[in-house]
Structure 1
């Protein structure tokens, strides 16, 4: 349930929250952010778990979401709106799932180029193509800002006056035992967590960027993840939101078996507005229903288009962007399972869809969705199953006419990025003719290796084995 800051007035909550407020004030966190966090803390004190039941929502039916292919007529309107549009890349993520402690966008992903390299190239190509300044700005986290800004040195937004970056906020972790602020003197930075990409709206306000954009005539923002290189400015989608005067547009894709855990789109029964439900918001007893890709057909690609004027109105009316609470149970030190249990307050950017009257979704092709969350995703995008286009997007290779291959790498040897890179030193093998690749044990791949059909590479020895340059593998390949 979304609430306004005005509801968080309970005296007991005020007493319990006071240490959090002081802790955040010491870090000079803006009062708006403190009040937003207090709203979510109030919900937790009242027993909220941030869950949305099947009983509260209805699935979207086939045909209720317009298809990208049917929006070509909006392209001219989009080109006209380009001079009033900004691109925002969410760049707060660390590659923790791949063993990194720095910005994931610094990982080499295609032809030796990092995510950031390709994003910067995209910006330059699109500015030239559309003859528009098209400002680009990154929302960094407190852990990714420095590395990112050093990497993009040399890029600027010309005479637009729009900064290259703004920084998302921090929330204190909450001790699960007594709902007090987390305390970890050995490493005080672990007492804080990023608040999720839903913080983009608050950070736009507190950084002054939203006010600056509106003052300079910017009306629309295209917001997407830095690890999704298929998400690029598109004139027909921009034209659709501009010509139809939509306040909010979410790009969705048809769910497949691989997407069953991703946040899905539905309708709220009480208001008939669109809503986004993440897996963490689903009651455990309904996880099977959540994963039903025929029932809930559409998942959020986390690429959004927003009318900035309406965004400001919604924020002012609610004293915040009303987003669903996501309560994420963790250990205080994520690398130490024996450290105390904590709760992390997070929000998802896409849940804002239910805060806007007449918000829409659009069904986009998979070419606009090429995310990298694990080293298995990385291997696929590095391979010839994906190509770099002239617009510097990463798109599925048209020569691949069947679903993308399933990849299962031995997590003992490939989960972390340094281990992965050591075992693919010459780049990814060819996967264009592969249906499934499994790698069991410690295997190092040579140059120009080709994987065909269903292939299982198994090393049963304790020593690393090497697949020779130019090898073609298919079926079961056993190293004893």
Structure 2
């Protein structure tokens, strides 16, 4: 096969002169048993940094997407039969590397309980089991874990297997060394060496599938497609219409996108590259600072990436083999070495996004999906909404909007000082979360603990200005549009 000039073949980094800064990275990565191909890919991105690239995608290089560029989910009914036919050829992959540190978690975020004692992984496993039972097809499920989430996650799914498909239950993403911003040398932090490394972003999926031989195993077992999504996106479920569209139109790569709202203005948006005409994904870290207002213009850039993709495995293998990697846009994230210490040295984290692979496929496409297919839990506000009676478990074990709700999405705004961390959140709802079925907005300011049985209606505000915790019960919020200010 003809090779791409993008990436050299694996090289002998030991032969590099001592003066070559990359040699220190290569030896460090080798000592941590990272495969040569991963070292080579990191070198590619490191070389981009040294050449001055910051992975930026400027306004001058892209154009917005119009609705005419997208297939609408409402137009896919005719593809459902084709999806049923293709179901034996699809595998489900869940991105499960996140710890949920922003919510104070130290275990896999997917182990967080969202309905009674049911966690994300419980829901995912049960969905797959019911899918298998309904169609009598052994649809395999594979998790892409990180080193931090692997052990806990595998214990949680003990007893589940992929049966005769022989597809592994999980594979592990790699790590990249952090780069000192002033010297471009490997970061050192002797008091906590783990902090010298960063997750490479979910763009590492493609490399990890190759190095773990997961891609090879899937193809050997007869699978042609993969549906890949975040484990914390409760709306990302198997859909025969989308699968049928993918298979019938022989698409190599299909991204699910949704209409941007003000809440999505910081998320990656879909666009087109002027030079090639190909679809592209631009993340906020790729936007020049002076163009941030344009990036956040949700009317100009109207569609965001839900991070749910469908991919043809044979084409994936060919693209990877041609380039020696999956050609993804560089994301240079500027951080402090210790994320909890703002005075620690500044570093650059090399990362990539899974969705930027859309530019690597000539005939890649995007489908505009309803908001119901994007229901992530990123904050305690999201968690409260999902735990409430606004969402129910369907017979297919999907967490779906409660059909009894007759108003738009509720706007939850909890005081981050007291509710951001999951432990603090749980302490303040010890007897269950309030009913939000008839609630339009629910705003809490200050330290408030809620008794069980609270039912909110309309626009509800609870504000505690006393300086100490107060307890609120059903009787305090019995009225519609209740406004409780405690001083």
Q: Same fold (TM over 0.5)?
A: yes
Give the equivalent residue in structure 1 for 2:484. 477
**Superimposed CA distance per residue, residues 24-74 of structure 1 (whole angstroms, 9 cap, x where no aligned partner):** 000110011111111110011011111101111111112321111111111
Q: Give SS of 1:6's match.
A: coil
Q: Equivalents in 1 of 2:426, 2:398: separation in Å?
A: 23
User: Aligned ranges for residues 459-474 of structure 1 at < 5 Å?
Assistant: 459-469=464-474, 471-472=477-478, 474=481
Task: Measure how far apart 1:13 and its partner are.
Answer: 11
Q: How does 1:171-182 map to 2 (within 5 A)?
A: 171-182=176-187
- Equivalent in 142, 146, 150 of residue 141 of structure 1: 146
Q: For residue 387 of structure 2, what is the aligned residue in structure 1?
A: 382
Aligned to 1:293: 298
Q: Distance in 2 between matches of 1:34 and 1:13?
A: 17
Does 1:275 find its partner at 2:277?
Answer: no
Query: 1:118 deviation in Å?
Result: 0.6
TM-score, length-normalised on structure 2? 0.95
State the shift of 1:472 in Å. 2.7
The match for 2:375 among 356, 362, 370 is 370
Equivalents in 2 of 1:182, 1:377: separation in Å? 35
Question: Shift in Å at residue 387 of structure 1?
Answer: 1.9
Q: Which residue of 2 aligns with 1:214?
A: 219
User: Alignment partner of 2:80: what SS?
Assistant: helix
The residue matched to 1:29 in structure 2 has which SS? coil
Matched, 1:423 2:428: yes
- Are the equivalent residues in 1 in contact too, given 2:10–2:37 (CA < 8 A)? no
Q: Answer whether contact 1:437 1:456 (CA < 8 A) is retained.
A: yes
1:6 aligns with 2:11: no
- Is the aligned partner of 1:42 residue 2:44? no
Question: Where do 5+ consecutive residues of structure 2 fail to align?
Answer: none
Cα separation, 2, equivalents of 1:56 and 1:8: 31
Structure 1 runs of 4+ aligned residues shifted over 6 Å read: 7-14
Q: Distance in 1 between matches of 2:426 and 2:217?
A: 42
**Secondary structure of the corresponding residue to residue 434 of structure 1:** strand
Matched, 1:197 2:199: no
Counterpart-to-counterpart distance in 2, 1:14 and 1:268: 38
8 Å contact kept, 2:271–2:281: yes
SS at match of 1:420: helix
How far does residue 259 in structure 1 lie from its aligned partner after superposition?
Answer: 1.0
In structure 2, distance between residues paired with 1:231 and 1:394: 10
1:155 is paired with a residue whose SS is coil
- 8 A contact 1:321–1:352 mirrored in 2: yes
Match for residue 173 of structure 2? 168
Comparing 382-391 and 4-13, the one that deviates more: 4-13
Residue in 2 that maps onto 1:404: 409
CA root-mean-square deviation: 1.8
Structure 1's 434 and 469: CA in aligned 2 closer, same or farther, altered over 3 A? closer
Partner of 2:329: 324
Q: How far is the alpha carbon of 1:366 from its aligned partner?
A: 1.3
Aligned to 2:85: 80
Q: CA deviation at 1:14?
A: 8.3
Matches of 1:308 and 1:60, distance apart in 2: 26
CA distance in 2, matches of 1:472, 1:343: 52
Q: Which of 120, 123, 128 is the aligned partner of 2:128?
A: 123
**TM-score of the superposed pair, with normalisation by structure 1:** 0.97
Moved more, 107-116 or 29-38: 107-116
Match of 1:344 in 2: 349
Structure 1 range deviating more: 62-71 or 348-357? 62-71
Structure 2: distance between partners of 1:88 and 1:244: 22
Q: Distance in 2 between matches of 1:12 and 1:223?
A: 41
What's the offset of the Cα at 1:329?
1.1
Q: Secondary structure at the match of 2:333?
A: strand
**Unaligned segments of structure 1, at least 5 residues:** none
After TM superposition, the structure 1 = structure 2 runs for residues 431-442 of structure 1, keeping only pairs within 5 Å, are 431-442=436-447
Structure 1 residues 194-236: Cα deviation after superposition (integer angstroms, max 9, x where no partner):
1010000000000011111111211000000000011011111
Q: Does residue 242 of the first structure (1) align with residue 244 of the second (2)?
A: no
Q: Secondary structure at the match of 1:403?
A: coil
Distance 1:427 1:347 in 2: 39
Change (3 A) 1:209 1:315: same
Q: Distance in 1 between matches of 2:112 and 2:181?
A: 34
Tell me the CA shift for residue 432 of structure 1.
Answer: 2.1
Q: Give CA-to-partner distance per residue, 1:173-192, whole Å, 9 cap, x none.
A: 11111111011111111111
